[in-house]
Structure 1
C-alpha cells in the first residue's frame, strides 16, 4: 500500500467568491496525502465555496470539500484504495472498506452531491465518475465545464504544464 514516491497528476483548489471562480495549484504532496490537501484547502478562507480536485496518476480523481462539520469527499474509483494511500485515506474517512483485490468493477465512493449546490447534481456526477473511458483530468474538466470554471482550470493547468 505504501505509495510514497511522487505520483503524477495535479491538485487544484477551486474557490467561488462573489460569483467568480478562481483556481490555484495545491502542493503536489496533496496527491499522496489527503490530510495535507484538507489542511491546505481549509487555509483558503473564503465566504464562498472552496473545494479541491485531485487527479492522480491518470487512474482516478478525488474531490475534497471542507465543511464546518468536517469534510465532504468523493473518490471516483474505490478500487484505487488498493494501490494509493490518498484513495485509502478517503475510504478511511468515509468509513468504507476497500474492495477485494479481484473486483474488476469501478465505482465511485463518497458524496455524489458534493457539488450539487454549484450546478452539478448527484446523478450527473455519478455519470461523470463512472465514465471509465475518460482519464481523471478529462472527468475533472467535465465537472469544471458543468459548474462553469473550465476556462480558469484550463488556464491553471497550462501554467502548471510549462
Structure 2
C-alpha cells in the first residue's frame, strides 16, 4: 500500500478511551474515523472526558497511533515514523508533527509527544520503554499502555486480546 491509499480497510481497530467521573470508559470508533488526524480528533472531542479523550488506532499490525484531545489541543504519538512511507494515516501524523519522511528501510522509531499521557499516569519514560520493545506487536504495546493507564481489561475485551 502506498501513502496515497486510504487506510480505512486496513484499520485493525480505532478506540476512544476517556474518564467520566474518574472511571475509564472505552468506546469503539469506526474505521472511517481513522482516515486522518483531524477526523479522528473531531470524533474524540464528542466524548465527555475528565481531561479529554485518548484515541488508540492500530493499522495492519504494522503501527499504531495514540492521539489525545482536550478542547482544541491535539497531541500525538506515532509508534513507527517509517510507516509514513506506506500509510496515509501515518503520513498525516508525521505531517502534523512536522517530521520529514523517513525511508522505510530505516529502523522503526516512534515520534511525537511522549508526555501526552503523563498526567493520566503514564510518564514519558515509561511510554518510551513500551515503544522501544521490538518484541511486541502494536496491539500488545497498546494493551500495555491501556494497562498502565488503568483500562487494560476494558481495552483487551474490546479488541479481543486475552489478558495476561
Q: Report the Cα distance in structure 1 between the residues aligned to 2:80 and 2:115, rounded to whole angstroms.
A: 16
**TM-score normalized with structure 2 length:** 0.89
- Structure 1 residues 46, 8: closer, same or farther in 2, change over 3 A? closer
- What secondary structure is seen at the aligned counterpart in 1 of 2:10? coil
Residue of structure 1 in register with 2:147 after alignment: 145
Structure 1 consecutive aligned stretches of length 4 or more whose deviation exceeds 6 Å: none
Could you tell me which residue of structure 2 aligns to residue 64 of structure 1?
A: 67
In 2 relative to 1, CA 137–101 (structure 1 residues): closer, same or farther, beyond 3 Å? closer
**Other-structure match for 2:130:** 128
Instruction: Please give the secondary structure, in 2, of the residue aligned with 1:46.
Output: coil
What is the 5 A alignment of 1:9-158? 9-103=12-106, 105-158=107-160
Native 8 Å contact 1:76 1:130 kept in 2: no
Q: How many residues in Structure 1 have an aligned counterpart in Structure 2?
A: 157
Alpha-carbon offset, residue 38 of structure 1 = 1.0
Deviation at residue 151 of structure 1 after TM alignment: 1.4
Alpha-carbon distance change, 119 to 18 in structure 1, aligned in 2, over 3 angstroms = same
How much has 1:134 moved relative to structure 2? 0.9
2:83–2:104: 8 Å Cα contact kept in structure 1?
Answer: no
1:15-39, Cα deviation, whole Å (9 max, x unpaired): 1121100000011123333222111
